[in-house]
Amino acid sequence: MTATAMDETLSTQAVGRVWMRTETADGRTVFVLRNRLSDVPVRRPVDVTYPSGRRGRLRLLGFDEATVATPLDDDWRIGASGVPGWWPAILAVPTLRPFRVPADLAAALRDAGIDLEAFPMLGQRRHAASWVRSAEPGPVRQQRIAAVVAAAVDYLEAGQGRHAESARGQR
């Protein structure tokens, strides 16, 4: 069975300059980002360049209203310690592994007039593809494909997709 490649292979990509503030909660240091990062994978280590030029590693955690980062090493003590208020940092996200959308899922979505790219979260696209791919050809796989298509239709009709208006107009 062939698969359709999604353009999700990223090299180490600089998110660019972000503004952070150091906070301490329960004896742990966290960095609160001024702007929420939505298309950056969370819970994976990322490289950071602190205001001092020192480099370190952080783990990003995404929440509904904010993105926070926890230091994975003690380099932040030299790189950002004592910097008052908001301070700039540069984040670099590691390479994401590519994934393949099974051809039968891609065809079913295309037949329903749905572009998988309409889903703003990479995790949703990856999860849908891997869930279908994990089923052998047969009735279970067809049920999963139907469930993904139905969920995509509901998602877009609720106006939640990145291209909801254009995707709805194509069906």
Q: Are 54 and 60 in contact (CB under 8 A)?
A: no
Could you tell me where the beta strands, DSSP code E, fall in 44-122?
45-49, 55-62, 67-71, 86-93, 100-102
171 pLDDT higher than 60? no
Single pTM value for the model: 0.48
Q: Which domains does the chain have, with CATH numbers?
A: 13-93 (2.40.10), 99-170 (no CATH)
Higher pLDDT, 13 or 37: 37
Sign of the dihedral defined by the CA atoms of residues 24, 57, 45, 47, in that order: positive
- Residue 2 pLDDT greater than 90, yes or no: no
pLDDT score of 164: 41
Question: How confident is residue 111, by pLDDT bands cut at 50, 70 and 90?
Answer: very high
Joined together, the tokens standing for residue 60 give 């990003």
- Three-state DSSP class for 136? coil
What would the pLDDT profile of 117-168 be if each residue is shown by its tens digit? 666 555 677 788 889 999 999 999 999 999 999 988 887 787 755 444 444 4
Residues ≥6 apart with Cβ < 8 Å to 24:
30
Q: Which residues lie closer than 8 Å to 61 by C-beta, 6 or more apart? A: 42, 43, 67, 68, 69, 70
Question: Which H or E run includes 33?
Answer: strand 28-33
pLDDT of residue 135: 93
> 11 pLDDT band (50/70/90 cuts)?
very low
Looking at residue 117, the DSSP 8-state letter turns out to be G
